[in-house]
Structure 1
Amino acid sequence: MTEAQKTNASPNDDAKESQTDLEAQQKRKKMLKIFAMLIIVAAILYAIGALVFGHSVDTDNAYVGAETAEITSMVSGQVEKVLVSDTQQVKKGDVLAIIDHRDAKIAVAQAEAELAKAKRQYTQSSANSSSLSSQILVSADDINSAKAQVAQAEVAYQQAQQEFSRRQQLSASGAISKEEFTKSQSALNNAKASVDVAQAALAQAESKRKAAQSNLDANEALIKDSSQSSTPDVLVAQAKLDQALLDLQRTEIKAPLDGVVARRSIQIGQRVAPGSVLMKIVPINALYVDANFKESQLKKVKVGQKATLTSDLYGHSVEYHGTVIGFSGGTGSAFALIPAQNATGNWIKVVQRLPVRIQLDPKELVEHPLRVGLSMEAEVDTSSAK
C-alpha cells in the first residue's frame, strides 16, 4: 500500500477504534450497574432475613430423652412370676413381677404374735399396779400393828425395869432371896428382847411398804400416761407388724408410672436381693428433648421460650411444640469421661455445644409417640416469653 492509501485509510480506522472503545465503556458501565444491583438485592435479602429469621435459633443436634424409672426389688426372695416383657406398655399400679411371699407371711404371723404378747404384758402391768397398791395398803396396816406391838413391848419393858429396880434394892438389904432377884432380872431381859423384836417387826413392815411402793412406781412408769395402744412396747411391736405387712406387699412389684418396659433382666426362679435392678419403665408420654445448641446461639435463649420440633421418625409433616425448661450445668466436653486438656500448647478452639432441655407437649406425644434416643430438629423462638 502506498503512502497516499495509508493516509486515506486512517480516518476510517480511527473512527472504528473510537466506536469500539465507546461500546466497551458502555458494557463496563452496564456490568457495574448489574453488580451494584446484585449487592443491593443481597443487602435487602440479608436485612429481611435478619428481621424475619433473626428471632429464632435452630439445630439438628437434638435427641429425645426421658426420666426413666428403675424397677428394683425392696425384699429378697425367689422370683415366682414375671408378668411383663420388653416393649410391653403398662399402667401405673400394674403388677410386673411376684416374689415368693411365704417367708413374708411367716414374718407377719410372728409380728402379730409379738404384738399380742405386748398387749397382754400391758394388761398384766395394769393388774400389777392394782396388786401393788393393795400390798401398800396391807403394809400400812402391818406398820400400824407393829407400832402398837412396839409400844406394848416398851410399856412391858418399863414395868420390868421398875420391878427390877425394886428387887435390886430389896436384894441389897437381904429382904428377898437371890432366886427372886434373878427372876426379876430375867423378866427385864425378856422385856428388852420383846422391844427389840417389836422394833424389828416394825422395820420389816416399813421395808415391805417401801419395796411395794418402789415396785408400784416402777410399774406405773411403764404405763403412765399411756393406753394399751400407745405404750412403748406395743408401739414397737406394731411397727414390726407394719414392716412385715409392708414387706409382704412388696413381694408384688408394681409399676410406679405409665410407660413401656425396657431392659428387663428378671427371670422366673431367679433369687433377687434388695436393690437389684429388674427392669426399666420409660414414660413415653412425659418425654423431653435435649437440643445441643452452639454457644454462639444461646445469647437470646431463655427459659420459658417456645420451641418447634420435628422428628426424623415422622418427617417435617408432623410438628411438636415445647417449652425451654432449663440449661445443662456444663457442655458435653466438660462432662466427658476424659475432658479436653485445653492448657496444652497444641490447643485449637472448638465451638462448644450446651444442652438445652425442651419439654414436649404430652397431648402431641399421645397422637405421635416418640422413643428415647430419636433424632430431632429443634427451633427456639427467641422472641417469645422474654
Structure 2
Amino acid sequence: MGNEYKKIILLKGFQHISDKCFNMIKSLLKDDLKLTSKTQDEYDRTKIADLMEMKFRGPACVDKLIELFREIDETKDLVKTLRKEKLKAIKTIKAKGATPAEKQDKSSLGQSTSTANEASGSESVKDTPVKKEENACLSTGKIEDITTRTADPRMKLSLEQSQLLIIPTCSITPTKNCLQTPQKLPPTTSSSSSTKKPRLKSVPKEASREEGLQRGPKEVMVLKATEPFTYDVTGGKMMFHATVATESRFFQVKIFNVALKEKFIPNKVIAISDYIGRNGFLEVFSVFSVSDVNPDRKMEISKSLIQKAKATPKISHLYLQHLGTFVNGVFVVHKKWAYSEFIYYEIRDDTGVMDVVVYGQRLTSINCEEGDRLTLVCFELAESGAKRQLRSVIHSYIKFYANYKLFGVL
C-alpha cells in the first residue's frame, strides 16, 4: 500500500521540480533520512522517495513533502496537487481494506476529527504510526473514550489527597456524606495545618501531554495567548496558540478557530472538550469545543506552576530534551544570517548557544535584528550534524521586541 504514496512523491512531486530545488529538498531531509555528504550527492529522486517511504510511514511521507514544498516559492503551486492525490490514495486504500461494518454509520464527530487531522498532519512525523491508527479509528465512527485510559493514576491520587486536606472537620459519628475523623484530633491553634491551603508537592517541569481524541470537558484557566495569525498563506487558514492550566498541570494549546479568541482571555476559567492531543499540544478545532463556566468559578493555581508554564527553558536543558520536542520561549538574538529561503538566528543565555532556523516568507519577513528579544512558539528541536537547533514548522509563531525595551512578552 505504501507504494501509492511513493508514486505521489515521484510523479506529482519530484518530477516537477528543478535539480536546484531537489538538492535543497535533500539538504532539508539530510538529518531525517541520515544522509551523508556522499549519499546526499549521489541519491536520485527515486532513492530519496524510497527513503521517505521507509522513514515516514503511509501518508506521512506525502505530508512531509507538503511541509517542505509549502515553504519554497518554486514548489508552492504543487501543494494542492499533492494534498488531493494523498486523499485519493487514502480513499483507495481504505476502500480495499475496510470491512462492510466499517463502511457504515460514520459519526459526524469522526468526520470532523478527520478534517482536524488533515489540518495539522503535516507538522510532525514522530508519532505518525499512532496518528494513522487514530485516523482509521475516527473515520469509521469507532471512537474510543480514551480519557480514562490516558489519565495518570498518580495525579488522581494527588487530587484526592488535596481534597481531603480542605474537608471541614466532621463529627465523630460518621454519616453518609461525611468522612470519619481520627479518634485523636490535633489541638486546634491559629497555625493549625487544617486552616492552610493545600500546596502541590511538586510542580511539573514540562507541559502535560495527552494523545488522541479527548472528550472532556476539562476545566482550565487561561494563562496567556498569542494573537491570531495566518499559518497557511495559500489557503488563508488562521490559528493562535495558548497556555492553560489546571490546579496541578499546564498545557500548550493550538486553536484553529480564531472566533474562540474571545474565550482565551488571561485568568478566565473555561471548559474545553472534544479536542485532540498530539505532539505535546491540545488541538481545538470547533467553536463548540470551548464553553464558559460559572462566573464565580475560581481555580487555585500556585504561583510556581504559573511561573513554570510561562518560563523560557535554558539552552543547556534543550540539549537534554528528545529530538522532536516543541519549544516555546523568549530568547536574545546575538547573530543573524539571512538567506533567500531561510534565516539563521544565534540565540544564547548563560548556559549555552543554539541556532534557530526559520523557513518561509511568513516568518522570514519579520524584521528581527541582533540584540532583539525573540519570542518563539511551537519550534521543533532538531539536530544538524552534532549540533542542536530549533526549526520553524507550519504552526510556528514569532514575535520580536527591539533592543530589550518592550516587555510583557508571551
**Which bracket does the TM-score occupy, shorter chain normalised?**
under 0.3
Larger radius of gyration: 1
Greater helix content? 1
Structure scoring higher RCO (CA < 8 A, sep ≥ 6) equals 1
Q: TM-score, normalised by structure 2?
A: 0.17
TM-score, normalised to structure 1, is: 0.18
